[in-house]
Chain A
């Protein structure tokens, strides 16, 4: 079993829909990261959080430390949100190494 599991692996939705991507992890963490990867390959950091909730524009990220679970929500989704969304955790021991989920491929159709 992977230390970081994302669901779903693929998600297709219509423009305007509310999107939720889930991430569960099995290790102690110092922080959880949500990343976005566009077809060109480059990765952009969306959020880094260790508790509670963060919001940036139409994106919301939440984390429940007790349940070892995080969600990324996109409100009023748009075709430009189409990308791979990756959850990663940095451990609470030793070096700052990220462990990545497999990613969720999101496609928003107009």
Chain B
């Protein structure tokens, strides 16, 4: 079945360490997105990519980095520069403007 896979579901990280969240899709979608969700807030866009080898910053890109070397994969690295990294991270994909978006199951990152 087609879909988006995020891993891991739960992740613990020591302060000062970088960590990479995985997002893979087999929907053949061109566009992929990373969102962050904090309690009581709507999802906010971190980075997005509309095509392989190209990506743009979203509204809260500071402290994060991404790559898009393959159409299927859009990993997100949470760097030590991110001041408040504990959050729920969601990956999504779609096939263009006005098309349905598909979401992964999310990764809950906790910095200890």
Contacts and interface: CB of A to CB of B under 8 A. Distances in A.
A100 to B, nearest CB: 4
A2 B44 CA distance: 12
Interface stretch (A34-42, A66-74, A75-83): A34-42
B101 A102 contact: no
Contacts of A101: 42
B48 to A, nearest CB: 6
B23 interface: no
Contacts of B100: 33, 45, 48
Contact of A41 (B41, B97, B105): B105
A97 B33 contact: yes
A42 B103 contact: yes
Interface in A27-74: 30-31, 33, 35, 40-45, 48, 50
Interface string B47-75: 01010000010100000000000000000
Q: How large is the interface on B (under 10, 10 to 19, 20 to 34, 35 or more residues)?
A: 20 to 34
A50 to B, nearest CB: 7
Interface of A is mostly: strand
A96 interface: yes
B42 A96 contact: no
B57 to A, nearest CB: 11
A41 B106 contact: yes
Residue of B99, B102, B103 with most chain A CB atoms under a 10 A cut-off? B103
7 contacts: A31-B98, A33-B100, A33-B101, A35-B103, A42-B104, A95-B56, A96-B96
Interface of A: 2, 4, 30-31, 33, 35, 40-45, 48, 50, 86, 88, 90-92, 95-98, 100-103
Given A43-B103, A96-B50, A98-B92, 17 more contacts: A41-B90, A41-B108, A42-B103, A45-B103, A48-B101, A50-B98, A88-B101, A90-B97, A90-B98, A90-B101, A92-B97, A95-B31, A96-B96, A97-B33, A97-B58, A98-B43, A102-B42
